[in-house]
Amino acid sequence: MAQQETDQPVNDEFIVDTEDCEERETAHRERGTSRPITVVGNPVLHKECKDVTEFDEKLAQLIDDMFASQRTAEGVGLAANQIGVDLKVFVYDCMDDEGVRHVGHVCNPVLDELPADRRILDDSNEGCLSVPTAYAPLARPDYAVVRGQDMKGNPIAVQGTGYFARCLQHETDHLYGYLYIDRLSKRDRKDALRQMAEGTPRYPVVPND
């Protein structure tokens, strides 16, 4: 069945993730415990994660730990499998291209398929906490909509432009078993892995066996 093209949804469909950013991020982080980051080659990064089905205190604690881990690693987004947890949830603390800060989380995220007229590609550099010290240009749409649930199970939708749109796509990819280097040419992937091998992570990582 082909996707029906519709007008862009009105803004009140989307959560407000730009208010009280510092207070919300700090509260999550101070309740959480920072964990080391899994890196490319760890099996949990290379398979689709399990759906979140229990919206309980354990999930809330995981989200707090993810914010703490994200801050330690100085990242702008973090998926649960990047700290070794096989669940579809990611957190973010990311600026868009207008300098507006966005802070939030999404469980069971699904990216909207964009109509052709919204697929304007941006080929900026991309990096990943699970491929430390490596960067490569990767073309992605400069607008993204992710739908999912919050930590209480309520349906939510998040929209982003520019760098924040890239973040939403990157983190959703993680939860379906894809790293950004999987979207590169063989040559560029090899170069990214070389950069990683030659670099030293600035944050704790889980060594692969």
Burial label for 187, CB within 10 Å (0-12, 13-18, 19+), is exposed
Q: What share of the chain is helix, strand, coil (3-state, %, to 5)?
A: 35, 25, 40
The contacts of residue 45 (CB under 8 Å, 6+ apart) are 38, 39, 81, 82, 130, 174, 177, 179
Alpha carbon distance 124, 22 (integer Å): 27
Active site residues: 171
Written as one string, the DSSP assignment of 163-176 is HHHHHHHHHHHHHT
**Residue type present at position 28:** H
Rounded (10°) angle between helices 57-73 and 21-31: 110
Q: Positive or negative, the Cα torsion across 111, 113, 118, 122?
A: positive
Secondary structure of residue 21 in the 3-state scheme: helix
